[in-house]
Structure 1
Amino acid sequence: MKDRLTPLTIPSRKGRLAIVTGASSGIGRATARALGLAGADVVLAVRNPDKGEQVAEQLRAEHPEGTHTVARLDTADLEAVRTFADAYVGRRIDMLVLNAGIGGTRRREVTPQNHELVMATNYFGHFVLTALLVDSLRAASRARVVTLGSIAARAGRLRFDDLDLERRWSRAQAYANSKLAMIMFARELQRHSTAGDWGLNAHAAHPGWAVTGMMPGGDRGVPQLLGGATRVMQSAGDGAQPVVFCAASRQAAAGGYYGPIGMFGVAGPVGRAPLPRQARSAAALTALWQATEKVTGVEFPR
């Protein structure tokens, strides 16, 4: 699917380091491309380094002046997250885009740390990664952390004593909960940054209804699968615009949630997105943060 929106105008990111998780396809690839075109040194943090290197080669061919490197990261495995983070401790990180994710599994599956797979991949791994890299983010001047939400987050219902959905699991609920958690994480991270004078800005973004690798057949399969519904869908490039806006635009408000503002929030230009109910509760934000620290065993600085 071709891009329809006018490309975003963002300031030069030359000399700045950006880490984009899940950058080998879809929204992550489009985000890595946009930040690279703006001059950033981009790390494609991916589960499959071979696939990541293919993407990096494509991006280098398109923009030879850019720097795109590949590093292995499986956000479902917290030990793999630690290994990845160790390589960046002591470095300055200007942009951390927490995009990696899976759409769901047919049955409840668990990770090596016994966490529910979707929550671990989409949320727990990113929470831990940010905690481990927070000093590297603080070393930058107004670093940006961007979490990936979804319009599906509206259906999320987080139980803070059962984040791993051990009592009641469904594929749809696991995905919705993981995306709601990511939105709430960004908002609470911003509160901690402001209170602790960390000097970083946190944002959440969602791509609307975009054609990505999570859909059967990807770009090629969507027209056959959805027919006329493609008229209200976005390309991955257009879907990435809210993410790129949060990562690089001076107009992005700290703690804000952004997404498409046309067609009921599934497509269109970037604007403020409505927050799901739990994400509007300060008490719920704090409860999620505390529960996640307990579940993962990783704490942010006090």
Structure 2
Amino acid sequence: MRDRLTPLTIPSRKGRLAIVTGANSGIGKATARALGLAGADVVLAVRDLAKGTAVAEELHAEHPEGSHTVAELDTSDLASVERFASEYADRRVDILVLNAGIGGTRKRELSVDGHELTMATNYFGHFALTARLLESLRRASRARVVTLGSLVAKNGRIRPDDLDLERHWSSRRAYTDSKLAMVMFARELQRHSTTGEWGLNAHAAHPGWAATRLLPGNPLHRVGAFFGGISGLMQSAADGAQPVVFCAASRQAAAGAYYGPIGMFGTSGPVGKAHLPRQARSAKALTALWEATEELVGVRFPRD
């Protein structure tokens, strides 16, 4: 699908270290490309090193001035998260884009740590990664942390006492809850950063309806994608990445805010503020999710 939007103009990120999880395709790849073009040293944090290396070589061939390196990270595996973060313990991290994710599973599956796999991949691992990289982020001047939400986050319903969805599981619910959790995480992370003077700017972004590999592969979805493309309701991965890049690099991005496309139905179009899901507007719900997640994954942020 061709790009329709004018590329964002963002300030130089030369000398900044940016980590993008799930950067081997889709929104992550497009974000890594844009940040590299802006001069950042971009780490493609990926589960499949061969695919990540191929993407890094592709990006280097397109723009030799960009810097893209590859590192192994499986966000569904908390030990992998810890190993990855330990490599950056003594470094400064300026931008952290929490993009890696799966679209759901046919049946309820568990991660190696025994957590519901979609929640583990899309949310728990990113929560733990941010906590383990916190000191590296604090070394930067106003580091950016960007979480990936979704249009369907509004359909999620977080129950802090059942984050692993042991009582009421469906593939759809696991995905919508994981994306709602990511929006809520950014909101609460910003509150803690402000209260604790961590010096971070946290943002949430969603790509609208973008042509990525998260789209299911059955014929009905392919037909929907075709009509979505010709009607302008669907957009390319590069256009869908614009809210993410905006949050990661633009001086206009407000800390704690949620951004996405502002075209018809919010599925495509230029970047603007997105409507927050109801639970993401509740201070009580945000705190409850944060505390339940710390307990579940066994990784804690500093007390304010």
TM-score (norm 1): 0.97
Whole-angstrom distance in 2 between the partners of 1:207 and 1:277: 19
SS of residue matched to 2:288:
helix
AA aligned to 2:297 is T
Aligned residue runs from structure 1 range 167-178, under 5 A: 167-178=167-178
AA aligned to 2:66 is G
Give 1:118's aligned residue: 118
Whole-angstrom distance in 2 between the partners of 1:241 and 1:64: 22
Number of aligned positions between the proteins: 301
AA aligned to 1:125 is G
1:227 and 2:226 are equivalent in the alignment:
yes
Give 1:53's aligned residue: 53
Please give the per-residue CA displacement for 1:212-257, whole angstroms capped at 9, x wherever unaligned. Answer: 0112459xx9765543222210100000000000000000000010
AA aligned to 1:258 is Y
SS of residue matched to 1:113:
coil
Contact 2:184 2:286 in 1 (8 A): yes
Contact 1:211 1:222 in 2 (8 A): no
Shift of 1:96: 0.1
Whole-angstrom distance in 2 between the partners of 1:169 and 1:224: 28
SS of residue matched to 1:268:
coil
TM-score (norm 2): 0.97
1:284 and 2:285 are equivalent in the alignment:
yes
Give 2:209's aligned residue: 209
AA aligned to 2:70 is V
AA aligned to 1:10 is I
User: What is the alpha-carbon root mean square deviation over aligned residues?
Assistant: 1.4
> Are the structure 2 counterparts of residues 159 and 216 from structure 1 closer, same or farther at C-alpha, using a change threshold of 3 Å?
closer
Contact 1:45 1:72 in 2 (8 A): yes
Please give the per-residue CA displacement for 1:14-56, whole angstroms capped at 9, x wherever unaligned. Answer: 0100000000000000000000000000000000000000000
Identity %: 74
Whole-angstrom distance in 1 between the partners of 2:217 and 2:17: 33
1:258 and 2:259 are equivalent in the alignment:
yes
AA aligned to 2:163 is L
SS of residue matched to 1:14:
coil
Shift of 1:66: 1.3
Whole-angstrom distance in 2 between the partners of 1:101 and 1:86: 22
Aligned residue runs from structure 1 range 85-124, under 5 A: 85-124=85-124
Whole-angstrom distance in 1 between the partners of 2:262 and 2:224: 25
Unaligned 5+ segments in structure 2 are none
1:44 and 2:64 are equivalent in the alignment:
no
Please give the per-residue CA displacement for 1:90-134, whole angstroms capped at 9, x wherever unaligned. Answer: 100000000000000000000111000000000000000000000
Whole-angstrom distance in 1 between the partners of 2:187 and 2:137: 17
Contact 1:23 1:100 in 2 (8 A): yes
Moved more, 225-234 or 36-45: 225-234
Whole-angstrom distance in 1 between the partners of 2:302 and 2:181: 20
AA aligned to 1:101 is G
Whole-angstrom distance in 1 between the partners of 2:187 and 2:225: 34
1:30 and 2:36 are equivalent in the alignment:
no
Divergent runs of 4+, >4 A: 221-225
Give 1:186's aligned residue: 186
Give 2:248's aligned residue: 247
AA aligned to 1:249 is S
Please give the per-residue CA displacement for 1:242-291, whole angstroms capped at 9, x wherever unaligned. Answer: 00000000000000100001111110000000000000000000000000
